[in-house]
Amino acid sequence: MYYFSLVFFISWMVFIDNIIYSLSNPKPEIDSLLDNYYFYKAPPIAAVLVLAFLIAVFNSIINKYEEENESTRMLLSIQNAKLGSLNDE
């Protein structure tokens, strides 16, 4: 779902100007923008891609720590069970 929304957002950023331009009547004078379209669009798209990469990296780091935390909890519960059985004897 995360990657689908990322692709949707990037495609929206790329094509929204073309959609607005095609639906507008009369057509606005944006020749300079059309000539330098990717010059204006590249920084926000690059920022979104960098942000998505950072979110993916932080998500993997958090998942790693959660797995380590769960394994430590399981180890502690086993040790607690052993201690409880030793105290009962």
Q: What is the 3-state secondary structure (H, E, C) of 4-37?
A: HHHHHHHHHHHHHHHHHHHHCCCCCCCHHHHHCH
pTM assigned to the model: 0.52
Percent of the chain clearing pLDDT 70 (strictly above) = 75
Residue with tokens 């909890």: 73
Which pLDDT value is given to residue 65? Answer: 94
The mean predicted confidence, pLDDT, of the chain is: 79
The values of phi and psi at residue 69, to 5°, are -65, -40
Show me where the domains of the chain are located.
2-88
pLDDT over threshold 90, residue 85:
no
